[in-house]
A = this chain, B = another copy of it.
Amino acid sequence: MLAYCGVVGEDVFKALADPTRRRILDELVERDGQTLFEICTRLVTKHNLGLSRQAISQHLAVLESAGLIRTRRQGRYKFHDLETEPLERIVTRWLRPDTPEENS
């Protein structure tokens, strides 16, 4: 459960800085729990993004280390689930500055 009390890794902002990673989040909002290959094919077909499998894999790694997605293995499949908790924090930093800010 990992209560994540307080600090938001600055990785969250860097993770969101890339348009492809934002597309991936869009994709997971629309359909959660996809595998790497599913995300690959959907990015190619729907958004005409001609990216290699490794490119997407690296993006997913960035998103995971930023806490924006969570993964679970199942046999040879690895499913990716969206994690919206870090998103709720990052903007309250400037919109509701009354709350104690321990961000970086």
Contacts and interface: CB of A to CB of B under 8 A. Distances in A.
Contacts of A29: 94, 97
Interface string A88-104: 10110111010001011
Contacts of A84: 94-95
Interface string A75-95: 000000010100110110111
A13 interface: yes
Contact residues of A: prevailing secondary structure: helix
A6 interface: no
A14 B103 CA distance: 18
Nearest to A88: B95
Nearest to A15: B17
A30 B13 CA distance: 21
Interface of A: 10, 13-14, 16-17, 19, 22, 25-26, 29-30, 82, 84, 87-88, 90-91, 93-95, 97, 101, 103-104
